Amino acid sequence: MIPRLKAALGFSEFKAAFTFSRSDDVNKFENEFARLADQKYAVAFPYGRTSLVFILNALGLENAEVICPAYTCVVVAHAIVTSGNVPVFVDSDKVDLNMDLRLIEKAITPNTKAIIATSIFGYPVNLNLLNEIRQRYPDLIIIQDCAHSFFCNWNERAVHKEGLCAFYGLNVSKIMTSIFGGMVTTDDKSFANKLREARNEILLPASVAKSLKRLLYFIMVYPIFTRIGYKFINRLERGGLIDSFVKHHKPDIIDMPSDYLQGMTSVEARVGEAQCKHYYSIVEHRHKIAMIYLEGFNDIQSLELPLYNDGATWSHFVIRTKYAKALIDIAFKAGIQLGEIIEYHIPSLLAYRSYRSVGEEYAKTLPGNVINLPVHAGVKEEDAFRIIKIIREKIQCLVK
C-alpha cells in the first residue's frame, strides 16, 4: 500500500541515529538548520508547538490575542492557550487555503499582539498582503508557521524570513524530520538569546527513557512505511486500533504532550542534521510529483486543484472535491492511501467554540471535502500516473 505520508529517511539518517551521542548534537543541528534557512540563529525544541509556547512567552505576552488560521493544525491553538494567550481564528482564503489576510483587519483589537502566518500545505503566504498589514500595524508581531512549508518562497522572497521569527515542526509527517522536534529561526540576536535562555532554564534535559523511546520509534518508522508494512498498519488505523498514535486532537480538550517540556534528544538532533543535507532533493521530488498531478487533472471540473506556485514546497497536494469519500475508498481498494487532513475546522471544535472567529467560515466546508495525494519520497512517477488514472476513471463514473 502507498501510504499518505512517508519521511524521506535513508541510510545516512539511520547511521546518524546510531552514532555515539555528544553533548553538542543539538547545537550542531541548530547550526545546520540555521545555515539551511539562511538565518543567523536556530533554536531547537522538543515539538513545533513547544517552540510556539516559548516564542509567545519570550515576547512577554500574557492574555494577549494572537491571530491564527481557523484551518490549521489544532496544536497551534493549543500552544497559544498553553502560553497563557488567546487565539483568534481567521477563515481561509478560498483560493490558496491560507488564512485570508484580507480579513485580518476585522480580527484586530487593541489587545492583538501577534499574527501567526501559516503557509498551509507548503503553499506560500501572500507576502504582498502580509506586508500591507505590517505597514498598517507595525507593532503587531509576525510569526511564520513553517511547519508545513519550511523554506517556501513568495515571488522569490523567503517566507520564513518575513517577520520576527519562524517555527517548524519536525515529526515524521513533515517534509523533513528529526523524529519529533521543533525549531525556531530568526535573525534577531536578542530574541534568539531570550529564547535560548528560557529554553535552557525551563526545559528538562531529555531523559534516557525518552531517548530510547525515540530511537525505537525511529527504527520502527523504516518497516512501517514500506508498502507491505503500511498495509498492515493501515488495517489497524482503519479499525481505530492506533488512534492514540495517529490522531492529533480530541475535540473537547486543549492539551500538550506529556513530554513537551523535555528537551530534544541527541538522537533526534543527529537525524535532523542528516536530513538537512537532503532538504533540496526532498522538495525537488515533491515538486516533480505535484507537477504530474497538476497536469494529469487539469481538465477535470469537479476537482479543484491547488494553485501552481513556483515557491511552494508541496508538503501536501490538496484537492477540493465533493467526491472526497468515494475517491478515498476507490484508492484504498487499489492500495493507495489518500490523506484527509485537516479533518476539522478549529472554531467548531468543542474546546474552541467560545473563542472569537472571523470570516464566513469557508474553512468549515473543507473537512470531508478535501483529499491529499501522496507526494513523498516513496511515490515514483509511475505511481503518480496510476493514481491519476484511478481517480479519473472514478470521477467519470461519479459525474455521469
Ligand X SMILES: Cc1ncc(COP(=O)(O)O)c(C=O)c1O
For ligand X, the binding residues (CB under 6 A) are: 47-49, 72-73, 75-76, 118, 145, 147-148, 169, 171, 182
- Which amino acid does the sequence have at 333? K
Provide the minimum distance between the beta carbon of 360 and ligand X in the complex, in angstroms, as a whole number.
Answer: 22
Torsion, Cα of 7, 177, 118, 248 (10° steps):
70
Provide the minimum distance between the beta carbon of 26 and ligand X in the complex, in angstroms, as a whole number.
Answer: 16
293/262 Cα distance (integer angstroms):
41
Q: Compare residues 182 and 272 and give the one whose CB is closer to ligand X.
A: 182
Phi, psi of 291 (to 5 degrees): -65, -35
Q: Compare residues 113 and 148 and give the one whose CB is closer to ligand X.
A: 148
Provide the minimum distance between the beta carbon of 148 and ligand X in the complex, in angstroms, as a whole number.
Answer: 5
Q: Compare residues 198 and 334 and give the one whose CB is closer to ligand X.
A: 198
Provide the minimum distance between the beta carbon of 257 and ligand X in the complex, in angstroms, as a whole number.
Answer: 8
Residues 305, 297 contacting (CB under 8 angstroms): yes
142/132 Cα distance (integer angstroms):
12
The one-character DSSP state at 12 is H
Q: Compare residues 80 and 292 and give the one whose CB is closer to ligand X.
A: 80
User: How far are the Cα atoms of 150, 168, 182, 226, 375 from residue 9, in angstroms, in the given order?
Assistant: 17, 18, 18, 11, 15
Chain centroid to Cα 316, Å, comes to: 9
Q: Compare residues 147 and 282 and give the one whose CB is closer to ligand X.
A: 147
Provide the minimum distance between the beta carbon of 358 and ligand X in the complex, in angstroms, as a whole number.
Answer: 19
Cα torsion 256, 257, 263, 269: sign? negative
Provide the minimum distance between the beta carbon of 333 and ligand X in the complex, in angstroms, as a whole number.
Answer: 28
Provide the minimum distance between the beta carbon of 343 and ligand X in the complex, in angstroms, as a whole number.
Answer: 12
Q: How many residues does the chain have?
A: 400
Q: Compare residues 163 and 169 and give the one whose CB is closer to ligand X.
A: 169
Q: Max alpha carbon distance in the chain (Å)?
A: 63
263/130 Cα distance (integer angstroms):
33
Residue 2 pairs in a beta bridge with: 336
Residue 372 pairs in a beta bridge with: 318, 339
Provide the minimum distance between the beta carbon of 371 and ligand X in the complex, in angstroms, as a whole number.
Answer: 17
Residues 169, 46 contacting (CB under 8 angstroms): no
Provide the minimum distance between the beta carbon of 144 and ligand X in the complex, in angstroms, as a whole number.
Answer: 10
Pull the grid cell for residue 15: 547511521
Burial label for 18, CB within 10 Å (0-12, 13-18, 19+), is exposed
Provide the minimum distance between the beta carbon of 52 and ligand X in the complex, in angstroms, as a whole number.
Answer: 7
Provide the minimum distance between the beta carbon of 288 and ligand X in the complex, in angstroms, as a whole number.
Answer: 23
Residue 55 pairs in a beta bridge with: none
Q: Compare residues 182 and 374 and give the one whose CB is closer to ligand X.
A: 182
Long-range contact list for 152-157, CB < 8 A, 24+ apart?
152/119, 152/122, 152/123, 152/124, 152/311, 152/312, 152/313, 153/124, 153/310, 153/311, 154/124, 154/125, 154/126, 154/127, 154/128, 154/309, 154/311, 155/127, 155/128, 155/311, 156/311, 157/127
Q: Compare residues 272 and 296 and give the one whose CB is closer to ligand X.
A: 272
Q: Compare residues 181 and 296 and give the one whose CB is closer to ligand X.
A: 181
